[in-house]
Structure 1
Amino acid sequence: MALHWKLVVDCRDPNALADFWAAALEYVVEDPSEFIAQLRESGQLPDAAVVEHGGGYRFAGLAAIRHPDDPFVPLSGIGEGRRVLFQGVPEAKTVKNRLHLDLQVGPDALAPLVTRLESLGAERVAWVDQGPAGSWWVMRDPEGNEFCAG
């Protein structure tokens, strides 16, 4: 039986990075506001573990995005399919990623994609041309995590 999985990204600002990647991938930022309210009312979640973000309440050190077509738990907003979790860590990124996303749109849609990603806070790093094997942009998200667009 295949395993369920999620990609976890260490970062300094989970909520801001979740917003970036949700917009970049056209995913949905999970909204745990109702779940957080229940946890706070029952005394199970201290105020220090919560931030206001995006018009609601989010966990201070965690944020996630999910594919808009995948099922999710209504109370918590937690996706039950394709999902990326952003986990707060105290240190900044210092070396190249060992794992990265490849956003694939094809040559005709690449320029508009790169322009849109830059408007969200990404930056171009290098153009890679592998001839018949393909070409793409190496880019960085707002926290410096590398990804490819091609």
Structure 2
Amino acid sequence: MAATVRQVQVTFDCAEPERLARFWCDVLGYVIPDPPDGFADWDEFDRALPPEHQGSAFACQDPFGVGPRLFFQRVPEGKVVKNRVHLDVRVGSGLVGAERLAALMAESDRLVALGATRIRVMEADGIDESCIVMQDVEGNEFCLD
């Protein structure tokens, strides 16, 4: 009998897990989960780990439990190629034309102020609506659509 999938978690390999998690909290309105039982906060939990594991992971989650949990794990190697999977941040749903592009640009400006990079604005072409290709603070691609 096959297992039933109840949740999905998206995992990011990165250099600075807490920094990246806090960026995505700001982008998505996510929150940092409560620390494990017996710890006042995540800093206390982190200090209890062996030195080689301190700062090695962090997470954020949808405060309403609807979206997937995001998990960030430190890896020794840096990002070298384009992501094969990326997040689409849906800020223009239901909007078309100039109204959609204005909403995307406003959100893009907000995210650039948080440390993101705007890579490419792809304006509507009669087939596809506008979207903006961005990078997070560690260079991972995502789209505003």
| TM norm structure 2 | 0.77
Counterpart residue type for residue 112 of structure 2: E
Given that 1:127 and 1:136 are in contact with CA atoms closer than 8 Å, whether structure 2 keeps it comes out as yes
* 2:75 alignment partner in structure 1: 89
Which whole-Å CA distance do the structure 1 matches of 2:58 and 2:140 have between them?
16
| 1:28-48 CA-partner distances (Å, limit 9, x unpaired) | 1224265556xxx9xxx4352
Given that 1:14 and 1:63 are in contact with CA atoms closer than 8 Å, whether structure 2 keeps it comes out as yes
* 1:62 alignment partner in structure 2: 57
Residue ranges of structure 2 left out of the alignment (5+ in a row) = 93-99
Of 129, 142, 147 in structure 1, the residue corresponding to residue 142 of structure 2 is: 147
Which whole-Å CA distance do the structure 2 matches of 1:20 and 1:103 have between them?
13
Is 1:26–2:29 an aligned residue pair?
yes
Of 99, 121, 129 in structure 2, the residue corresponding to residue 127 of structure 1 is: 121
Counterpart residue type for residue 137 of structure 1: I
* 2:103 alignment partner in structure 1: 109
| TM norm structure 1 | 0.74
Which shifted more, 105-114 or 61-70? 105-114
Task: Name the SS for the 1:29 alignment partner.
Answer: coil
Is 1:13–2:16 an aligned residue pair?
yes
Counterpart residue type for residue 16 of structure 2: D
| 1:92-141 CA-partner distances (Å, limit 9, x unpaired) | 10100000011111214212211110011001111223523211111100
The verdict on how the C-alpha distance between 1:35 and 1:16 changes in structure 2, with shifts beyond 3 A counting, is farther
**CA displacement at 1:82 relative to structure 2:** 2.2
Counterpart residue type for residue 99 of structure 1: V
The verdict on how the C-alpha distance between 1:137 and 1:61 changes in structure 2, with shifts beyond 3 A counting, is same
Given that 1:30 and 1:63 are in contact with CA atoms closer than 8 Å, whether structure 2 keeps it comes out as no
State, as a whole percentage, how many aligned pairs show the same letter.
Answer: 40
Given that 1:17 and 1:86 are in contact with CA atoms closer than 8 Å, whether structure 2 keeps it comes out as yes
Task: Name the SS for the 2:76 alignment partner.
Answer: coil
* 2:95 alignment partner in structure 1: none
Residue ranges of structure 1 left out of the alignment (5+ in a row) = 51-59, 72-80
Q: CA RMSD in A?
A: 2.4
Which whole-Å CA distance do the structure 1 matches of 2:49 and 2:9 have between them?
26
| 1:41-62 CA-partner distances (Å, limit 9, x unpaired) | 9xxx435234xxxxxxxxx111
Which shifted more, 130-139 or 112-121? 130-139
